[in-house]
Structure 1
Amino acid sequence: MSRLTLFTQSLWRRWMRWIPVRILSVKHRPKISAHLKSLDPHDRYLRFGYPATDEQIDLYVEKLNFGRDDIYGVFNRRLEIVAMAHLAFSVDPQWTTCAEFGVSVDQKMRGRGLGARLFERAVVHARNEGVALLFIHALSENTPMLKIARKAGARVERDGSESDAYLTLPVANIDSQVNEMIEEGMADLDFQIKARAKQFSQVLQTLQEVRKGVRESRHKSSV
């Protein structure tokens, strides 16, 4: 087997495992709200530190500052958000190089690396934005989140039922900047492909319903 073939196969395997992460905007508020409301009470407790009600989730989504912070999402084929992350940049003048990370994943989509992928994506952007310290506040029982942080090299400090993780980020370089640019482009392309596929599916479903209606009409007229 040639080196070119091996290289091509390697790229293909990486592409098949790749999880596209898209930057969300104001127009995605309804989808963000739907995702968070789909979490059960325990998952809401892990995400927010308290069992947030639907009204509290609406308030959280309404207050999201898309101009200052970065919100990331993973979409399924129905263009529903199945995982999202919030990278909140510090507004304290003394901590301008700090940011906080929070993540949530649909229960049915866990165990597929979505949380780790969102964390990886947020780290790259935070690094390129000059963030030197990434902070994660989580309940001590939120072992998946703390595991992701530890694996990335974060220092985790536990204080009873709560834990704080601190990850020192390296200075941005050409590789990190190019990597983020490629990530954004590929994620946008993936979303457009899913959007076209959904539109085609809807058109096909409509045509099938029309054909079914025509057949039923013919059957009735022949009786």
Structure 2
Amino acid sequence: MKTADTALFQWVPIRTLAPRHRERAALHLLALEPHDRYLRFGFAATDEQVRRYVDGLDFDRDELFGIFNRNLVLIAMAHLAYSPDAKSAEQRATAEFGVSVLKQARGRGYGARLFDRAMLHGRNRGCTRLFIHALSENAAMLKIAANAGATVERDGSESAAWLKLPPDDLVSRVDELVGQHAAELDFRFKVHARRMGELMGLVRDVGDHIGEKARIASE
């Protein structure tokens, strides 16, 4: 029997998202339950506000990561954001992390896995600090940060967490490259499996139609 702890050690395909995934990102965030959306944005974001957030995503400056299920639904997503108006070297070397996981995908450690991936990518991009701003009631997010060694500071209803990242090295770069390629292969396999499923369904429908016509003709 698998437990939540052992599940954390299983490989999870985390794919880098691109501008072509913008609509998938929007659908993912819009599918969050009201309280989960509140925790993700820090306020009760409306559908229009979610759409504006997604429309404003800068895939050249920032990095977005996603986990897809076998039906190609984006069930978990992370945003590693860099300040567009950073003025100091320290600000340019700091990235903010945000994550969301659909209700049906909870308890599998996806949030922690996305955080690990964000840390790895940040290191390889020269980022030295990871920042998390969350509501104090967002215990799951703050726990992920604390478990990674972040310093968490609470200020009433809001909390901030800071995590110092080690410099990149050959191992970190290879880890990210291998993980990225494996996730791409996994996604292509899921696309192929879905297309094959649709094709087999079409063949069955045609067969049923021919069989029905033959039955009617024999009566």
TM-score, normalised to structure 1, is: 0.92
SS at match of 1:138: strand
Q: What are the equivalent positions in structure 2 for 1:108-187 lying under 5 Å apart? A: 108-187=104-183
What stretches of structure 1 move > 6 A for 4+ residues in a row?
Answer: none
Q: CA deviation at 1:214?
A: 1.1
1:47 is matched with: 40
1:144-178 C-alpha deviation (Å, 9 max, x unpaired): 11000000000000011110000000111111011
2:205 is matched with: 209
1:8 is matched with: none
Unpaired runs of 5+ residues, structure 1, are: 1-12
1:194 is matched with: 190
1:14-39 C-alpha deviation (Å, 9 max, x unpaired): 9x920010000011111111111111
Unpaired runs of 5+ residues, structure 2, are: 1-5
SS at match of 2:168: coil
Contact 1:90 1:97 in 2 (8 A): no
1:171, 1:93 → 2: CA distance? 21
1:61 aligns with 2:54: yes
SS at match of 1:130: coil
1:101, 1:148 → 2: CA distance? 11
1:208, 1:131 → 2: CA distance? 53
1:154, 1:59 → 2: CA distance? 30
Instruction: Report the residue type matching 1:190 in the other structure.
Output: D
1:23 is matched with: 16
1:216, 1:54 → 2: CA distance? 46
- Give the fraction of aligned pairs with identical amino acids, expressed as a percent: 50
2:215, 2:48 → 1: CA distance? 51
Alignment: residue pair count: 211
1:90 aligns with 2:90: no
1:76 aligns with 2:69: yes
Over aligned residues, Cα RMSD in angstroms?
1.5
2:120, 2:87 → 1: CA distance? 22
